[in-house]
């Protein structure tokens, strides 16, 4: 089984080019709509990994109706 997740990541910068307000990264998990804001890429990376594991677990448990559809993008 292949499960794919997509994320939209925005980085907000101030006019001077600095990261805005300490929570400059805005991330959305496309499939679930879950959102997260952070000031560090370390937190972003951890959240993305956690979302992937949660989404994979849900797909294996059968709560995702398309989970059994394997897609070959090659």
pLDDT of the chain, 74 residues: tens digit per residue: 677 889 999 988 766 666 656 678 999 999 889 999 998 889 999 999 999 888 888 888 875 454 444 444 44
- What residue spans define the domains of the chain? 7-61
d(CA 14, CA 22): 11
pTM reported for the whole predicted model = 0.67
């Amino acid at each position: 089984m292949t499960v794919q997740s997509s994320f939209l990541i925005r980085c907000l910068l101030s006019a001077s080019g600095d990261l805005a307000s300490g929570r400059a990264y805005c991330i959305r998990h496309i499939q679930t709509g879950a959102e997260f804001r952070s000031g560090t890429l370390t937190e972003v990376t951890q959240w993305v990994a956690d979302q992937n594991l949660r989404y994979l677990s849900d797909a294996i448990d059968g709560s995702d109706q398309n989970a059994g559809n394997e897609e070959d993008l090659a």
